[in-house]
Amino acid sequence: MCPGSTPPSLLALREASPVTRERVPALSAWWVLIAGLIGLLCSMTLTVEKIDILADPGYVPSCNINPILSCGSVMVTPQASLLSFPNPLLGIAGFAVVVVAGVLAVAKVDLPQWFWIGLGAGVLVGTVFVHWLIFQSLYRIGALCPYCMVVWAVTITLLVVVASIVVRPSLQGSGAAVRVLFGWRWSIVTLWFTAVFLLIMVRFWDYWSTLL
């Protein structure tokens, strides 16, 4: 064997090993971090506003814009404390995990697939909860919380991005339906947001029409 040459056993091991590829694309990693930070900031702001309301029932939250866009009207309802404590505390805990995942992904730390699957499951639960809150805000409370709406938006987009991270490594071996959904994921999200926007416009049209 020549000096400096690679031993045959090591060479064979390298050839047998799969090529290492970046699991999380840079744009996806950055969005996980940015979405986590936005969600965390909104959740913390809502928690502070809730504390101020509890301390002073006459306090007017900074996000009270008009009779429809009014955080205060939403915060005092039972739906705002589904588990007997303010919902934003759930957001603080959940988005803190997302921020950590985003930091590690941006730093190119190779997190195991089970972590992303678990994060995806958590974001899916959060998305279901978000849509329950959308229904309650539109058809039970009759008011919208601007900070909450930002959380709705980042949660939905976060679900798509994390699902993409989970599916991407096995995309080639997936069925045609999965590949089509993956390719059209942002078009589907656009339709998703459009549907929510139209529901908001129709539900509160009596008020919006007075602004025209």
**Could you read off the pLDDT of 17-45 as tens digits, one per residue?**
343 445 789 999 999 999 999 999 999 99
Q: What is the pLDDT of residues 59-77, one digit of tens each?
A: 999 889 999 999 999 999 9
pLDDT at res. 4: 52
pLDDT at res. 167: 87
**86: in domain:** yes
- The answer to whether 28 and 105 have CB atoms below 8 angstroms apart is yes
**92: in domain:** yes
Q: What is the pLDDT of residues 144-195, one digit of tens each?
A: 999 999 999 999 999 999 999 998 877 776 777 777 778 888 999 999 999 9
**4: in domain:** no
Domain that holds residue 164: 23-211
| Chain CA centroid to CA 173, Å | 27
State the Cα–Cα distance between residues 143 and 72, nearest whole angstrom. 9
- 98: its two tokens: 């997302």
**147: in domain:** yes
**77: in domain:** yes
**189: in domain:** yes
pTM: 0.85
Percent of the chain at pLDDT exceeding 90: 72
State the Cα–Cα distance between residues 100 and 30, nearest whole angstrom. 12
- 87: its two tokens: 């919902």
Nearest to 166 by CA among 110, 118, 107: 118
Backbone angles phi, psi at 85, to 5 degrees: -145, 160
At residue 15 the predicted structure's pLDDT band, cuts being 50, 70 and 90, is very low
Segment holding 195, helix H or strand E: helix 185-203
**7: in domain:** no
For the chain, what is the domain count? 1
Q: Decide if pLDDT at 8 tops 90.
A: no
**9: in domain:** no
3-state secondary structure (DSSP) of residue 144:
strand
State the Cα–Cα distance between residues 115 and 155, nearest whole angstrom. 18
Q: Letter for the amino acid at 60?
A: V
Residues in the chain, how many?
Answer: 212
Query: Tell me, what CATH number does 168's domain have?
Result: 1.20.1440.130
Q: Decide if pLDDT at 13 tops 90.
A: no
